[in-house]
């Protein structure tokens, strides 16, 4: 899990979404544009990553929509 932020943002590597542990937070960056703070399995708190909604697989969008409603 080491370097997930660097790999995602700088190396252009594909994220292993099976390692997603939970969504911790959501923030609006522009009108109708959101980022989600994601926690990863076998990672430390420092490896939590803000990811733009459009970079998250479509199969997770219903979960993200529900998360936005409760926050």
Fold that domain 4-70 belongs to in CATH:
OB fold (Dihydrolipoamide Acetyltransferase, E2P) (2.40.50)
What is the reported pLDDT for 14?
Answer: 66
Q: Which two tokens stand for residue 7?
A: 């790999």
Q: Report pLDDT for 29.
A: 94
With bands split at pLDDT 50, 70 and 90, how would you rate the model's confidence at 7?
low
Whole-number Å distance between alpha carbons of 51 and 35: 5
More confident residue, 45 or 22: 22
Parse the chain into domains and list their residue ranges: 4-70
Q: Which residues contact 20 (CB under 8 A, 6 or more apart)?
A: 38, 39, 40, 41, 60
């Amino acid at each position: 899990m080491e370097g997930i932020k660097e790999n995602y943002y700088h190396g252009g590597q594909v994220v292993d979404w099976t390692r997603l542990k939970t969504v911790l937070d959501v923030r609006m960056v522009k009108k109708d544009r959101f980022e989600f703070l994601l926690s990863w399995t076998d990672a430390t708190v420092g490896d939590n990553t803000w990811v733009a909604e459009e970079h998250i697989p479509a199969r997770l969008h219903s979960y993200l929509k529900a998360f936005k409603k409760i926050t």
